[in-house]
Chain A
Amino acid sequence: MYIYLPIAEVSMHIGVIIGLGGGVGFLSGMFGVGGGFLMTPLLIFLGVPPAIAVSTEANQIVASSVSGVIAHWRRGNVDFKMGGILLAGGVVGSSLGVLLFSILRDIGQIDLVIKLSYVIFLGLIGGLMLLESIRAILRTRQPGARRGKLHQHNWLHGLPLKMRFRKSKLYISALLPFFLAAMVGVLSAIMGVGGGFILVPAMIYLLGMPTYVVIGTSLFQIIFVTANITVLQAVQTQTVDFVLAGLLLFGSVIGAQIGARFGTRLKGEQLRGLLALMVLGVSVKLGIELITAPVDVFAVEFIK
């Protein structure tokens, strides 16, 4: 059964949309990631215009982050103070990102910037994750390896506006999480992702937050960043397809439950290694698209 998506103005098979939601949901449940980095490129690949894909995916991530944050919140694993600073930065950054998105779209470079961002950031994060998990797998085979310090002190700790974050056991400058979240916010708006894949490692390695509060806190802030993107895109470009988001959501909710159960059968390092390969895969796929000659060097785009 085909469904005509009212905002995207394309006709898609309903099974494809729910299946896509389910597939990406399965992987995100298994690896504990948002899945935006898979969903947005797949939607574009299926013929959804990039602007619609990015805005609609932001809408869907609001839902998946809400359902994700609830479990972490119950266990008390959300640092609301840190989350507040992060979301302030995230809202500023994503607003800038939405603006940048429409400028790039008008000059016909949005596809290029989306692909380049994916290649660079997924490539970087995927590469680091892969190295890390290989090292972790090797380390488990060599017992007796020494644990390092909780976190290292460097120049970043000398910045002004220091604040105490009890839950995160940190005393650092508020500027640091603010600018970090702002930068990730720009990328969220352009790439159609929650940004957890950058924020989570940055919170661990850059801010030095303890791992158990990182996921909950990042999910908490992603809700607000993606909600901000949804509303701004709805008002400025009318590109949020609520029907598409709803159907994707339906599939992903179910997929995520199955994926989560599946994920418990695998070891942490194995999971991270697989995730790294998947992230790298998307990066390489889009990288190849950028360097191979298109079938037709000319293309048309309808201007609204």
Chain B
Amino acid sequence: MSAFNLSVQTFALFNLKAGIRIGLAILILTFMALPLSASTIIADLSRKDVAITTDFHGTELLLFGAVKGEEEDDIIVVFSGPQTKIASRKKEKVSGIWVNTKTVLWQNAPSFYQLLSTRPKDEILSTALQAEYRIGQNYIPLQTKTPIIPQSDYAEWFQSLNRNMSQLGLWKTSIGDVELIRGALFRAPVLMPANIIPGRYEVRVIHVSNGAVRSEYSTTVRVKKQGIGAVIFDIAHRYSVFYGLFAVAFAVFAGWLAAMAFRRS
């Protein structure tokens, strides 16, 4: 009965590409075949590999899956990118001009962090549980190179990081972007902007019911550079002397060519 319902919904509610539709069908069948497992959620993505090619201008992934739950349950998705070092700098007015005066070096900030949920997370889970499951920017375990002094300034620095990263489209909270259908199927679009960095992206999907976490499912997405751009990047970093000399030789040739081409005119 429930399997029948799901397959009907699969076709009725998801106007997805054929590949995704088949993927979802397989996913649901696998899920149905595990009736006694403790897991109540399973998910997959429209693409598990994102290639940064020459025409890359950001991309949208679709996260989709099935859940064994009730209609009023909630889904939270935490999508986080590879950790990176980030310098937060603060400007102050020094003799009339704005100058960077203070710096905090974050050692392990996620380069990308998107939190998606069916409803605002505070309405779904207690803050204690949010902290335990590291749900939300506030609960990212951040380290700084040197401690922030005075410690009371930490909140201000963290908020500035959160704000700056949001402005770059890299950290984001989207409430209501997870669509849960009859407590059984869900989908969520994940927007990856053009300034993402290559590496492993971790996707955690959390099923919440009555203020408690029922189960969690995680998967990964790989972002890598591909094509001619990747080759240029690789040469520039591995054979940098050759790359530099080549860039100069190319410029000399191009300059000469330009002079020749417009010689008569």
Task: Tell me the A residues contacting B by CB distance below 8 Å.
Answer: 1-7, 9-11, 59-60, 62-68, 70-71, 108-109, 111-112, 223, 227, 230-235, 238, 240, 242-243, 245-246, 249, 253, 257, 290-294, 296-303
Contacts and interface: CB of A to CB of B under 8 A. Distances in A.
Secondary structure at chain A's binding surface: helix, strand, loop or mixed?
helix
24 contacts: A4-B229, A6-B228, A9-B197, A63-B258, A66-B254, A66-B256, A67-B256, A227-B251, A230-B251, A231-B244, A231-B245, A232-B244, A234-B236, A234-B243, A238-B236, A238-B243, A246-B250, A249-B251, A293-B98, A298-B88, A298-B160, A300-B168, A301-B89, A303-B86
B55 A6 contact: no
A112 B99 contact: yes
A7 B89 contact: no
Interface of B: 52-58, 84-93, 96-100, 103, 105, 111, 157, 160-161, 163-165, 167-168, 194-195, 197, 225, 228-230, 232-233, 236-237, 240-241, 243-248, 250-252, 254-256, 258-259, 261-262, 265
B88 A235 contact: no
B40 to A, nearest CB: 38
Given A4-B57, A230-B247, A300-B161, 8 more contacts: A2-B55, A2-B194, A240-B244, A298-B88, A298-B160, A298-B164, A302-B197, A303-B86
B232 A108 contact: no
A4 B52 contact: yes
A209 B80 CA distance: 62
Given A60-B251, A67-B258, A70-B259, A291 B96 contact: yes
B258 A253 contact: yes
A302 B84 contact: yes
A246 B246 CA distance: 12
A6 B225 CA distance: 9
A11 B256 contact: no
Nearest to B232: A6
Contact of A249 (B92, B236, B254): B254
Nearest to B103: A108
Nearest to A227: B248
For B233, B237, B244, the residue with the greatest tally of chain A CB atoms inside 10 Å of its CB is: B244
A66 B259 CA distance: 8
Contacts of B57: 2, 4, 11
Nearest to B254: A63
Given A234-B236, A296-B163, A299-B89, A1 B55 contact: yes
Given A59-B248, A108-B87, A3 B236 contact: no
Given A11-B57, A300-B165, A65 B100 contact: no
Contact of A7 (B157, B163, B236, B261): B236
Given A4-B229, A108-B103, A240 B247 contact: yes
A232 B195 CA distance: 26
Interface centre among A108, A292, A293 (most CB of B within 10 A): A108
Contacts of B105: 303
Contacts, number: 183
A59 B245 CA distance: 10
B248 A242 contact: no
Contacts of A303: 84-87, 105
4 nearest CB pairs, A to B? A234-B244, A66-B255, A298-B160, A11-B194
Nearest to B58: A11
A303 B256 CA distance: 37
A253 B262 CA distance: 9
A4 B248 contact: no
Contacts of B99: 109, 112
Contacts of B258: 63, 67, 253
Contact of A63 (B100, B157, B237, B252): B252
A296 B236 contact: no
A110 B175 CA distance: 39
Contact of A298 (B163, B228, B237, B245): B163
B160 A296 contact: yes
Given A6-B229, A66-B252, A59 B54 contact: no
Given A242-B250, A291-B97, A63 B255 contact: yes
Contacts of A64: 255
Contacts of A11: 56-58, 194-195
B264 to A, nearest CB: 11
Nearest to B198: A9
With a 10 A CB-CB cut-off, give which of A6, A7, A301 has the most chain B CB atoms.
Answer: A6
B56 A4 contact: yes
Most buried by A among B92, B197, B237, B240: B240
